[in-house]
Chains A and B, each alone.
Chain A
Amino acid sequence: MADKKTPQLDELQNGKWPSFVTEIKKAAVKNEASKELLHLLERSYEEKRGHWKHGGIVGVKGYGGGVIGRYSDLPEEYPHLQAFHTVRINAPSGWFYSTDSLRKICDIWERRGSGLMNLHGATGDAILLGTTTDQLQPIFDELSEEGFDLGGSGSDLRSPSCCVGPARCEHACYDTLEACYNITNTFQDELHRPMWPYKSKIKFSGCANDCTASIARSDCAVIGTWRDSLIIDPEEVKNYAASGMNIQHVCEGCPTEALKYNAETQELSVIADECSRCMHCINRMPKAITPGNDRGATILIGGKSTIVQSAFMGWVIVPFMKMEAESDYEEFKDIITRIWEWWDENGKTRERIGETIYRLGMSKFLTEVGLPAVPQMVYRPRANPYVFWPEDEIKK
């Protein structure tokens, strides 16, 4: 294809932020598809519309998901973009790579694809952007050789992801990396072979700071917490005070007024039963305050985006669960399996688990998956009196 001008995209090479246009231009030197992509994008900027056809069903043998098929609607003018499929690679827990493994992915991708990547897709996969149908199986075979597997797509378990957790963060209340890896391995079949009413996502955050945004972006959020008292180091409190920190101000930020500071004695104390484990004081004084010793996670269900029922954030279904590698995460796996089973039995086509629960009710959901109803599940009790009673609970 003759070199065309890209005046609008060129504008985006100005300014301080790293420019994606510069990156595509680098790839375009080596690859025709990337070059055409640049020109097609410029055209989209001019016309203010996308130039990709609806849908696309491609994949690799044995799997029902993992590849997103895409075709340009202008194949005559952009022959190298006729097919421009995306391959999702399940990324390592917490996105920790060795340069060696990244080089291997890049080598395969430069030979068999556009050379463009997205590190990472919002769900967490390493995304290879743009290749043709005949390259999919060879790419998959070569990735497998190097120990990589595809991620999820379609009505399956999408690739679980986690925060950096205990690898680098002193707040982590369980080993998010290990849990993510272990649980991903257990549910390989659910991930590769779509079988449910719709997609389902799990995300693991080590504490309530929720650095994976699991509460908003996963059907099942596993958020680290503790159930004894947070731990205060009195010496470090004094150091913070000496450094000029306004500790009274930290206490004022406590949503439950559980944290008390005596400025005269420089003593900080907590009413453990009233602390809601919001992380505020720990974030402000990480050297002096740490999560308690009896650690685990809160399990939330239902987070999803707008379509169809409106956006949901996850809500509590298990206030506290131990998350330990020694038990092989048995309790979690057991519950999530029952939840999927219930949803698969009751969910309508393209109905997320949150919507199925919304439609059929928490009490039915909890009863049928075998979870006890507890006050932590609600923000406040219902305000209307339209209460259903099971027939057998009524004294006649």
Chain B
Amino acid sequence: MAELVVNGVSYELDEDGFLEDASVWNEDVAKALAPHEDVEELTEEHWKMINYLRDYYAQYGVAPMVRKLLKDTGYTQKTIYELFPTGPGKGACKVAGLPKPTGCV
């Protein structure tokens, strides 16, 4: 099992690099996860997306549908892939500390 060490604290990751326990997420963890998803630095735009995803998840208990995400953030699909090259599911949700997307991927 892989682990991520941030500020001397060790966090367990699953095979795909998602946090085993999403509840331990914090901003420093997000910064440490970002490079794994081809994001060099988390800019304000990245944080807008991360915070949106976290708020939505906290409220509804699921990740938003892509269309909902686009409407609420005002980003286009293209912008999202520019911000998170590995996409909204693998990239953004991982960095934001949401549980791993499931289903017929």
Contact = CB atoms under 8 A, between A and B. Distances in A.
Given A61-B85, A63-B87, A154-B105, A349 B77 contact: no
Say whether chain A's binding surface is mostly helix, strand, loop, or mixed.
Answer: loop
Contacts of B70: 195
A65 B38 CA distance: 16
Nearest to A64: B87
Contacts of B85: 61-62
Given A61-B85, A194-B89, A71 B15 contact: yes
Contact of A64 (B90, B100, B103): B90
A59 interface: yes
A55 B87 contact: no
A106 B66 CA distance: 36
A65 B105 contact: yes
Say whether chain B's binding surface is mostly helix, strand, loop, or mixed.
Answer: loop
A57 B103 contact: no
Given A64-B88, A68-B105, A350-B103, A58 B67 contact: no
Interface string A340-357: 000011000110000000
B37 to A, nearest CB: 9
Interface string A224-235: 000000000000
B91 to A, nearest CB: 9
A61 B38 contact: yes
- Interface footprint category on A: 20 to 34
A193 B65 CA distance: 13
A69 interface: yes
A189 to B, nearest CB: 7
A143 to B, nearest CB: 18
B16 interface: yes
Given A62-B81, A69-B16, A193-B81, A57 B66 contact: no
Given A54-B102, A193-B81, A349 B65 contact: yes
Contact of B18 (A57, A64, A196): A57
Interface in B31-82: 38, 62, 65-67, 70, 77, 81
A197 interface: yes
A61 B86 contact: yes
Interface string A190-204: 000111110100000
Contacts of B89: 57, 64, 154, 194
A56 interface: yes
A90 interface: no
Nearest to A307: B104
A57 B105 contact: yes
B65 A55 contact: no
Given A57-B105, A71-B15, A194 B100 contact: no
A153 interface: yes
A196 B76 CA distance: 14
A155 B69 CA distance: 15
A196 B77 CA distance: 11
Contacts of A194: 66, 87, 89
Contacts of A82: 15
Interface in A50-93: 53-59, 61-65, 68-69, 71, 82-83
B90 A195 contact: no
18 contacts: A54-B102, A55-B102, A56-B105, A57-B18, A57-B100, A57-B101, A59-B87, A61-B38, A62-B81, A62-B85, A64-B88, A68-B105, A71-B15, A153-B104, A154-B104, A155-B66, A193-B87, A195-B77
Interface of B: 15-16, 18, 38, 62, 65-67, 70, 77, 81, 85-90, 94, 100-105
In the A-B complex, the 9 residue pairs with the smallest Cβ-Cβ separation, listed nearest first, are A64-B87, A195-B66, A154-B105, A61-B85, A57-B16, A71-B15, A57-B90, A55-B102, A344-B67
Given A83-B15, A189-B77, A194-B87, 8 more contacts: A55-B103, A55-B105, A59-B87, A61-B38, A153-B105, A155-B66, A194-B66, A197-B65
